[in-house]
Structure 1
Amino acid sequence: MKPACGKGSEMQATIVAAEPLAARAGLQILEQGGNAVDAAVTVGFALAVTFPEAGNIGGGGFLVGDVGRARGTDDGQPICLDFREKAPLKADRDLYVRAAEAGIEKASLLGHLAAAVPGSVAGLLDALDRWGSLPRSRVLAPAIGLASRGFPMTASRHRRLSSKGTRGQMTLFEETARIFYPDGEPVAAGEIFKQPDLARTLQRIADNGREGFYGGETADHILVEMKRGGGLIAIEDLESYRAVVREPVQFELNGVEVLTMPAPSSGGICLEQMLRILSRFPLEEFGAGSTDTIHLLAESMRRSFADRNHFLGDPDFVSIPTEKLLSEERIEAMAKSIDLKKSTPSSAITPAGATEKEETTHYSILDRHGNAVAVTTTLNGSFGSKVVVPGTGFLLNNEMDDFTARPGEPNLFGLVQGEANAVEPGKRPLSSMTPTVVIGSGGEVRGVLGTPGGPTIITNVLQVFLGLYRHNLSPEDAVSQPKVHHQSLPDHLYHEEGIAKETLMALKDRGHQLKRRGKIGDFQLISVAPGGAVRGVSDPRGGGTTATKVKIQRN
């Protein structure tokens, strides 16, 4: 592999995130000499403060990167870290069936039983220890400052907190209501929002590392709240949790190499399947957004999600036939089964399928040496389980709903999943998070990609990749183009507004069951041109999100 950039030259360091204060925190670390992993850890902890609906220390996520370059002279090293949440050891496959029979509604979504063992703190600290260069106290300082000093409540978050559904659920829990609804009303737009308990929790992590979260005072607070609310997380769960280094899914296509996330993410396998199916068809000739292209997108998505829903789960618990799923024979058979003039009913491909939440967040980072990191984290639903652990300031996830919580019933995202993703003690739930890094033929980083959006993450990354590397769209157009989504079940082709009416009619004539929906994702893209020009694009769907860049003088 060739160096990322010529000897003596440096890249334009870029951070693209859904929340500008967290992006600026990462920028500070880059300006202080930190690398892409240092900045990623900083942004991750800062998002727990400034983006509480999805950023977190009470959830989990995935990290994919290409690092190890220094001053443009070293080759990159693929890295992949799984810090997905785990089912408590007291959990079992019939947990939510029993809860429903006992009259406990939404037990996998709301309240203490919905919480899986958090992985974000272990993952971020492990990444820093393995691949970072700065001390823990330095990378956590911006988040601690934001939590203690506070920052203005945004109008969009105020609206979300004011909505009937969110307010009704958040105020069920006393500590959550105290923080977000002081005096019985949501924190006003523009009001300085301080989180002193969260600042103290972050300081304990800065001082004591993982023990500052999985042991000591923070763990005591978690255990007391679990007992009070009937949750399952125990000290054994906290003490035993570890992030896992995994081999990334790697494949070459369209003149580039793709690094993305393996199971327990379904993203890598599905992305490779769909891209290789579509490589059999002349998409360039059909054109981006054409009837033929959208039809082929839908048919490849439907087939890949059928495999996802049936075969994929935590590889530490189930045997995943990866070689078979990605074999030439299977890809060719899937491609040949597509009728260019007629949609295939999902019932003809798979008998069943569960829903996954969309309230994730993603950020992409490129440092001046060309090291790239893509990170996607989640609480699952917006504000997770809605439970703030008293004395800590952080929200717990509701990730247990990402399992096949109740067989045959769709989850939050409408996914109907199989036995491979059933609840088991200590198991990680299947995810769609797809942080992705694209490497050029010379070994240089060409793209850092990712988005929130539940199952639409995979199909959104697919469409941005195709826009960049097959349709030759600009980075801005690749991100902003109207998106579609199909997940096998329910048998709907979801689409955003902006697709031509005649195209939609033609798709309907081919048998697609069209369903318009709101925005798909909040893409965070860094694109590097062959000549080295860097462009950061934060999805306009995000409503005011920004790309933060630091320009560095080339030698």
Structure 2
Amino acid sequence: MKKLQIFSILLFLNISVGFSQNHYGKNGMVASASTYASQAGLEILKDGGNAVDASIATAFTLAVTWPFAGNIGGGGFMVIHTEDGNVTTFDFREKAPLASTKDMFLDENGKLKSGSNHNTALAIGVPGTIAGLYDAHQKYGEIEWEKLLERAIQLAEYGFPLPQSLAKDFFYFAENPDQFPEMQSFITRDGKVVGFGEFWKQPALAETLKKIQDEGKKAFYEGETAQTLVDYIQSQDGIITTEDLAAYEAIERQPIHSTFKDYDLYGMPLPSSGGVAVTQMMNMWEQLDEVPEMGSVEYYHTLAEIMRKAFKDRAQYLGDNDFIEIPDLERLLSKNYARDLLKEIDFEQVGKSDSTAIQIISEGQETTHLSVMDETGMAVSMTTTLEQGYGVKMQSPELGFLLNNEMGDFNAVPGETNNSGQIGTPANTIEPGKRMLSSMSPFIVKKNNQPFLVIGSPGGRTIINTVFQTILATTVYEYPMNQAIEAPKIHHQWLPDRIVYEEYKMAPETLEALEAMGHEIHMRSFLGRLMGIKYNAETGFMEGAADSGSPDGEVASY
């Protein structure tokens, strides 16, 4: 116990060091949103584990130390570059319960019941994280499963000093008990709200993790834990059953593979929209007659117009293709189609988004990303989510983990689209067992058949554009990892028809010039919180960085 407390205190005291700096490693590297999680992954690499093993240990530790988005009650996507050079993916996105219906969030007049698809137990999708991590380990891991949960269990059982980022949220929940009744047992110990710097112990979560450590995914989807979870969800008027849990399966899928100049890009297939959208935008960028200077008005205008095109297609066509047929997918990913889209862009003036057509559904921004690389060249890019921060803000005190509100990513009102952002296209309407469309965009980029970039980000719909711009920064403009992550970024999602930019990161004269062209400009505090690793084949060194916007993010390497 003393050893773990010393470990926690040392990490806590160094939690703000090196956010925007490049970190270098020769043997292994882990970048994540939590210092504890990155160190846990690095420990596994040092103990002989590979990148998949390390990513799983990191993910489990995030479930303990970064409950804002780290989870075992949510889902995500994983892109894996194997030691022999192949690339595969695991889809462990949440699914709609079997009792779901396409109009489950509507009132008797066919109108959306306010907050029902985000703030109630009906919003909970069937969790996929444990299945995804376990299946990836069974096929690609090297060391024993039990070892991968050790650090997470220790931190849950013995505690760690609560960082300021979590402490502020805990205080807010405590100040609003009527709004967040199910969070009160989560943030208190012995009748007192856990405060900044105080050791936060999670004994119920530790016990749940011990069962998963002993029995693998079976401990989560069957038996006592599954029954306890279902009893809790149904006590809150949710509809998930033990049958839903028993039927859940993660899926290994072929990645979306595309080329860009001398690079090979690998992203997630559907129901992640990121692989398709980033591919479309990279295809368009590759065929520009002239590449604009990074940071210029022309650069941002070109980005916005390319984003506009990709996001229109995202809204119109994309969903879970295990349930819907997308006959145009090959065309959407083709270079010829990108050339046709590019011809529609006016590089001198602003295009217009048709407000009578498809709209973009609201999507929570609070995911978390981790990137890992080991000395063999094996790499993992993994993004996981609860949807909104702390998910649906519900948890069984007996189990100790938070639940997602991913059902809010479906189109809640079939057939109805409006200018406020509601979307009703059939591709992403609710069906029993269906996975909801996602913007999570873990990517691995290769050059000369070696890993070049491992990248991803949280940020809801902004993830796609944040990853896109970071890939451009490293491949086209040859930025170091930290500069590529910190470079000013924008976001355009077709509708609302505006450019969103990061606060303090763009020159006033640039913004004024974009407005003069006809762009509507909107400010946001951040666009994504990237975690990236770049590999230099000439030196053999990995170069990693964590976004300065991630309050507890860290890169661990050796």
| Same fold flag (TM > 0.5) | yes
How far the C-alpha of 1:406 sits from its partner, in A, is 2.8
Query: Which residue does 2:124 correspond to in 1?
Result: 115
Q: 1:219 to 1:537 in 2, by over 3 A?
A: same
Deviation per residue, 1:214-234 (Å, 9 max, x gap): 111111111211221110101
CA 1:500–1:55: 2 relative to 1, 3 Å: same
Cα distance in 2, alignment partners of residues 115 and 418 from structure 1 = 22
Matches within 5 A, 1:29-40: 29-40=44-55
Q: How does 1:96-107 map to 2 (within 5 A)?
A: 96-98=105-107, 105-107=114-116
Mapping of residues 17-32 of structure 1, within 5 Å: 17-32=32-47
Paired residue for 2:137, among 113, 119, 128? 128
> 116-125 vs 142-151, which deviates more?
142-151
CA distance, structure 1, for counterparts of residue 494 and residue 429 of structure 2: 19
Give the whole-Å Cα distance in 2 for the aligned partners of 1:170 and 1:468. 47
Q: How many angstroms apart in 1 are the aligned matches of 2:225 and 2:115?
A: 27
**Structure 1, 528-537 or 306-315: larger mean CA deviation:** 528-537
CA distance in structure 2 between the aligned counterparts of 1:206 and 1:414, rounded to whole angstroms: 42
Letter in 1 for 2:81: D
Cα pair distance change 1:381/1:173, threshold 3 Å: same
Checking the alignment, whether the CA contact within 8 Å between 1:144 and 1:203 is kept in structure 2 is yes
Do the aligned partners of 2:356 and 2:418 also contact (CA within 8 Å) in 1?
no
1:401 to 408, 420, 438: 408
8 Å contact from structure 1 (residues 479, 539) kept in 2: yes
Q: Give the aligned partner of residue 83 of structure 1.
A: 92
Partner residue in 1 for 2:30: 15
- Look up the match of 2:396: 389
Matched, 1:144 2:153: yes
C-alpha distance in 2 between matches for 1:423 and 1:168: 32
SS in 2 for 1:324: helix
2:358 and 2:417 in contact (8 A); partners too: no
Quick one: which of 232, 235, 247 aligns to 2:239?
232
Contact 1:283 1:471 (C-alpha < 8 Å) held by counterparts:
no
> Which TM-score applies when normalising by structure 2?
0.91
Structure 2: which 5+ residue stretches go unaligned? 1-24
8 A contact 1:353–1:417 mirrored in 2: no
Task: Determine the C-alpha separation between the residues in 2 that align with 1:100 and 1:108.
Answer: 17
Query: What letter corresponds to residue 480 of structure 1 in structure 2?
Result: E
**Distance between the aligned counterparts of 2:68 and 2:497, measured in 1?**
29
CA distance in 2, matches of 1:483, 1:20: 25
- Structure 1 position 44, deviation (Å): 1.0
**What is the match of residue 58 of structure 1?**
73
SS state of the match for residue 381, structure 1?
coil
Q: Decide whether the 8 Å contact of 2:359 with 2:418 is kept in 1.
A: no
Which residue pairs with 1:423 in the alignment? 430
Alignment of 1:311-330 (within 5 A): 311-320=317-326, 321-330=328-337
Which residue matches 1:533? 541
Counterpart contact for 1:301–1:487, Cα < 8 Å: yes
In the other structure, the counterpart of 1:41 is 56
Give 5+ residue unaligned stretches, structure 1. Answer: 1-9, 70-74, 551-555
Which of 252, 256, 272 does residue 245 from structure 1 map onto?
252
Counterpart of 2:176 in structure 1: which amino acid?
Answer: G
Would the aligned equivalents of 2:226 and 2:242 in 1 still touch at CA under 8 Å? yes
> For 2:92 and 2:38, how far apart are their aligned partners in 1?
21
Offset of residue 544 of structure 1: 4.4
Instruction: Tell me how far 1:416 sits from its aligned partner.
Output: 3.6
Q: Residues 439-450 of structure 1: matches in 2 within 5 Å?
A: 439-441=446-448, 443-450=449-456
3-state SS, counterpart of residue 472 of structure 1: coil
What is the SS of the residue equivalent to 2:392?
Answer: coil
1:164-187 deviation per Cα after TM superposition (whole angstroms, max 9, x unaligned): 6x853786334x311213477642
Note if contact 1:197-1:391 (Cα within 8 Å) is conserved in structure 2: yes
Structure 1 residue identity aligned to 2:500: Y
Deviation at 1:245, TM superposition (A): 0.8
Give runs of aligned pairs for residues 456-475 of structure 1, distance below 5 A. 456-475=462-481
1:142-181 equivalences in 2 (<5 Å): 142-163=151-172, 168=176, 172-174=180-182, 176-181=183-188
* Residue aligned with 1:528, SS: strand
Q: Deviations over 1:426-481 (max 9, x none)?
A: 0000001011111111x111110001000111100111111111112222111101
1:541 counterpart SS class: coil
Equivalences for residues 215-364 of structure 1 within 5 A: 215-281=222-288, 284=291, 286-320=292-326, 321-347=328-354, 350-364=357-371
Give the match for residue 206 of structure 1.
Answer: 213
Task: Pick closer, same or farther for the CA change 1:398–1:348 going to 2, 3 Å.
Answer: closer
**C-alpha displacement at 1:414, in angstroms?**
5.2
Aligned residue number for residue 22 of structure 2? none
Partner of 1:543: 551
- Report the residue type matching 2:129 in the other structure: S
Corresponding residue SS for 2:226? helix
- Once the two structures are superposed, residues 358-387 of structure 1 have per-residue CA deviations (whole angstroms, 9 ceiling, x without a partner) of 100000000111110000000000000111
Does the 8 Å contact 1:312/1:420 carry over to 2? yes
Deviation at 1:280, TM superposition (A): 1.9
Cα displacement (A) at 1:163: 3.0
Q: Deviations over 1:497-544 (max 9, x none)?
A: 321222111111221111111111110010112312211110111134
Contact 2:359 2:417 in 1 (8 A): no
User: Does the C-alpha gap of structure 1 residues 167 and 258 become closer, same or farther in structure 2, counting only changes over 3 Å?
Assistant: farther
Q: In structure 2, do the counterparts of structure 1 residues 477 and 335 end up closer, same or farther at CA, with 3 Å as the change threshold?
A: same
Aligned to 2:517: 510
Structure 1 pair 430–334 and aligned structure 2 pair: CA distance change class (3 A): same
Give me the whole-angstrom Cα distance separating, in 2, the residues matched to 1:45 and 1:415: 34
What residue is the counterpart of 2:496 in the other structure? 490
- In 2, Cα distance between the equivalents of 1:394 and 1:409? 35
Mapped contact 2:359–2:422 kept (Cα < 8 A):
no
Q: CA RMSD in A?
A: 2.1
Letter in 2 for 1:540: S
Counterparts of 1:57 and 1:199 in 2: how far apart (Å)? 12
Residue in structure 1 matched with residue 19 of structure 2 by the alignment: none
The 3-state SS of whatever aligns with 1:296 is helix
1:309–1:417 Cα contact (<8 Å) kept? no
Contact 1:11-1:370 at 8 Å conserved across structures: no
Identity over the aligned pairs, expressed in percent? 39
Deviation at residue 329 of structure 1 after TM alignment: 3.2
Give TM-score scaled by structure 1 length: 0.92
